[in-house]
Amino acid sequence: MPQNTSDSKITENTPLQGYHNLNRFSVAPMLDWTDRHCRYFHRVLSKNTLLYTEMVTTGAIIYGKGDYLAFSEEEQPVALQLGGSDPAALAQCAKLAEARGYNEINLNVGCPSDRVQNGRFGACLMGDAQLVADCIKAMQDVVSIPVTVKTRIGIDEQDSYEFLCDFIDKVSTQGGCEMFIIHARKAWLSGLSPKENREIPPLDYPRVYQLKRDFPHLTMAINGGVKTLEEAKEHLRYLDGVMVGREAYQNPSILAEVDNQLFDSQSSVVNTFDAVRQMFPYIEKELSQGAYLGHITRHMLGIFQGIPGARQWRRYLSENAHKKGADLAVVEQALALVERGE
């Protein structure tokens, strides 16, 4: 295991150089949240943020009746997060995803829910680094896009730094994985709900910083508890990338400043009112194809957080967007309430 204990900051990164800037800031894959409507809205707010799909299981892709790989070209760059533990099935899905135009394949080794564990994927895979390595290699062998891992810093009583290093070492050397996204909490595989697993195990950012120092040749992003761009900037002093989860969803206006603050200071900050208006053509197109307004606007409820009229915006959409025949006029009326600051 690497033993470099230097506390020097990481200021230059060489691995996956062409991909590094793309992964500098991303929105986490969140089940039932980061669907294609959500990603389209987030893309309006930021052109550079890497967007992840919800976790999609290999079984759904291979055997499901729906199109679980669908996305709009306007959402790019988009990464697909896969759930599974069968190397052959993962390779098959990775190949399909690359053909559809995804920029990255990410393996879920972090979700602790019982449902996920029953399918033998998610955080429980941390206990079998060889299997994770085999899964990554199987996908690497059939695609040319990056294949990455999103994981925790430990599971149950297997939460030592040595355990984490052994996992990273095996998956990177035997699997060929060059990019890891580390949720800076361990996961309890029993006794805690998924929500509690996001809140109760303490965050350990220094451990992730040390991991990057000990594996400087790997690209590493951090996830967990990040709520502001100032916090993201602090993490970027030590790491290659930052992934934000619920804050980006519940307060999506944070994304309006990402391009300016984290990518190019010459980029303009997106006006949130304009961002909502930019959604109008998309909403009309989706409604014409049978989508329900509420399925789109539910991802937009938090956009005016902290602005006078935000409560009226949320209330009006929540009360009206799910009604039969609800159309763009509902969004226009809700927006008018915010503009009047009511």
Which tens digit of pLDDT belongs to each residue from 282-307?
A: 999 999 999 999 999 999 999 999 99
What number of helices (H) and strands (E) belong to the chain? 17, 8
What is the reported pLDDT for 19?
A: 46
For residue 118, pLDDT over 80 is answered with no
Euclidean distance between CA atoms 18 and 51, whole angstroms: 17
Bridge-based pairing of strands 179-183 and 104-109 is unpaired
The arithmetic mean of pLDDT across residues 136-165, rounded, is 96
35 near 55, Cβ under 8 Å?
Answer: no
Q: Which residues are annotated as a binding site for FMN?
A: 29-31, 81, 150, 183, 223-225, 245-246
Average pLDDT, the chain: 91
DSSP, res 270: P
The string of DSSP letters for 186-229 reads: -B-SSSS-HHHHTTSSPP-HHHHHHHHHH-TTSEEEEESS--SH
Least confident piece of the model among 13-17, 113-117, 176-180: 13-17
Q: Is the pTM of this model over 0.85?
A: yes
Active site residue 38: no
What is the reported pLDDT for 116?
A: 63
The arithmetic mean of pLDDT across residues 320-328, rounded, is 96
DSSP alpha helices (H): ranges in the chain? Answer: 17-20, 36-45, 58-63, 87-100, 114-118, 129-140, 161-173, 194-197, 205-214, 229-235, 246-250, 258, 272-278, 280-288, 293-297, 310-320, 328-339
Write the pLDDT tens digit of every residue in 20-70: 577 899 999 999 999 999 999 999 999 999 999 999 999 999 999 989 999
70 near 60, Cβ under 8 Å?
Answer: no
The arithmetic mean of pLDDT across residues 265-275, rounded, is 93
Helix, strand, coil percent values for the chain (each to nearest 5): 45, 15, 40
32 near 64, Cβ under 8 Å?
Answer: no
What structural domains does the chain harbor?
16-263 (3.20.20.70), 272-337 (1.20.120.1460)
Q: Which residues are annotated as a binding site?
A: 29-31, 81, 150, 183, 223-225, 245-246
What is the reported pLDDT for 8?
A: 37
For residue 234, pLDDT over 50 is answered with yes
Quickly count: other Cβ atoms within 10 Å of residue 266's Cβ.
Answer: 7
What is the reported pLDDT for 140?
A: 97
What is the reported pLDDT for 342?
A: 56
Catalytic residue among 111, 124, 135, 177: 111
What is the reported pLDDT for 318?
A: 96
Q: What percent of the chain has pLDDT over 70?
A: 92
Residue with tokens 């988009």: 78
